Amino acid sequence: MIGVYDSGFGGLTVLRHLVGALPGRDFLYLGDNGRAPYGGRDAHTLLDFAEQCVEHLFEAGCGLVVVACHTVSCVALRHLQRRYGYPGSGRRVLGVTIPAAEAAVALTRGRIGVLATERTVRSRTFVAELAKLGHHDTVQRAAPLLAPLVEEAWEATELARGACARYLRDLEGASVIILGCTHYPLLREALEAGTGAALLDPGPAVAERLRAWLSRHPDFDAPGEGRLQLHCTGDLAHFTASAARFYGGPLPAPRHVVEAGSTLARLVLDGTPEGQVVRG
């Protein structure tokens, strides 16, 4: 079983490509929407959240975890790989940054733009990875308003188009713009209205890289029954109502997990509580 981890809903835009590329595999998706957004978090908080989420997926039976969150992939991936995916561990943690950078370089020799969260931009991980692939002129822009707009399902509004146009001004001259947040593919129409650059959704590249990686490392996962499970840390009703929009199709009912003793544990809910809530 392959684990896929994201800070919330956005990773479902990656998951749909993974399922499409590997239809016979079993997947477990964990959306940490109860603690989202990640984009403005400090690095050490991100490491704590990422450790808990990755450990939860390993404990659930995943030998391979794909970090579908660009913020975590840019800030915490190396830490996660050293902590959990060392040689002989029988586990691996893969990210989305390098496939995105390679796909961008394959599309252009000109300027590459990166539109992403504040923490992703500040990490400069995309800049470093693109530099490894050649002498590319790279420009970045943090866009902290865009993910919340998508969360509110406002991607088709004038507000979204105005915000996209404002952020894109700082990426003028880019021939390719990497959508460095998994929410942004839902804003494609609004983004295309504000730029003539090609917009790169890393999801297909991530899926193709994973398919190729598994062909070279078959011991880390085996064909299953095509099952898909969902876990989330936030409001169960909100996740259920929003997830299909990001995935682009129907999804199974999610299970709810919460932080308990610095780990994530399953919590069985009897409906959505209202008013004061007291635990025994």
Residues serving a catalytic function are: 69, 181
Cβ count near 271 (within 10 Å): 7
Between CA 261 and CA 105 the distance in angstroms is 43
188 burial via Cβ count (<10 Å: 0-12, 13-18, 19+): middle
Supply the Cα-derived Rg of the chain in whole angstroms.
18
| Nearest partner of 41 among 67, 65, 74, judged by Cα | 74
Is 205:6 a contact under the CB 8 Å cutoff?
Answer: no
Residue 137's alpha-carbon distances to 126, 140, 173, 202, 225, in angstroms, are: 12, 10, 10, 19, 45
Between CA 242 and CA 263 the distance in angstroms is 25
Residues in the chain: 280
| Nearest partner of 121 among 164, 70, 81, judged by Cα | 70
Between CA 231 and CA 1 the distance in angstroms is 14
- Per DSSP (E only), the strands in 39-122 are 64-67, 92-94, 112-116
Between CA 28 and CA 128 the distance in angstroms is 31
